[in-house]
Structure 1
């Protein structure tokens, strides 16, 4: 009887560990789209900021070129 109880406790402990591992895997799977969306959003924000800087530089160059031509 003692061995049966010990065996049952071991099986319950294994089942508990497997349940926790499965729960962790499911949580990782469910959080992946959120993390991916955040990464894509951050990348898009960086890209837009870079384009904004490029446009600002080109406007600055155009304005200064016009001013320099007007003075000469």
Structure 2
């Protein structure tokens, strides 16, 4: 019984470590995407936001393979990433000014 508890605790610890690793990867990707969006905006590519959102909506309407809940979830995450980009840009301007 003691070994079973130890095994369960070890598995839970590994799951926790894996989850933290995944969160770190997602956050790093968010910051990278924010930097890329800011750079693209400076290069006069002002329509990236609209292009990404339009592509998702168009793809979701093109077939029945996409569940609306999946599209909503994807758009929610895209909007969160875009919000990170706006936040980073605003804070960068505040720091410069």
Q: TM-score, normalised by structure 1?
A: 0.58
List gaps (5 residues or longer) in structure 2.
46-97
Residue-pair matches, total: 45
Q: CA-to-partner distance for each residue in 1:10-55, whole Å, 9 max, x for gaps? A: xxxxxxxxxxxxxxxxxx2111211111000001111111111000
Give the number of the structure whose alpha-carbon radius of gyration is greater.
1
SS in 1 for 2:43: helix
Choose between structure 1 and 2: higher helix proportion.
1
Higher relative contact order (CA 8 A, sep 6+): 2
Matches within 5 A, 1:17-36: 28-36=1-9
What value does the CA root-mean-square deviation take over the aligned residues? 1.3
List gaps (5 residues or longer) in structure 1.
1-27
Q: TM-score, normalised by structure 2?
A: 0.44
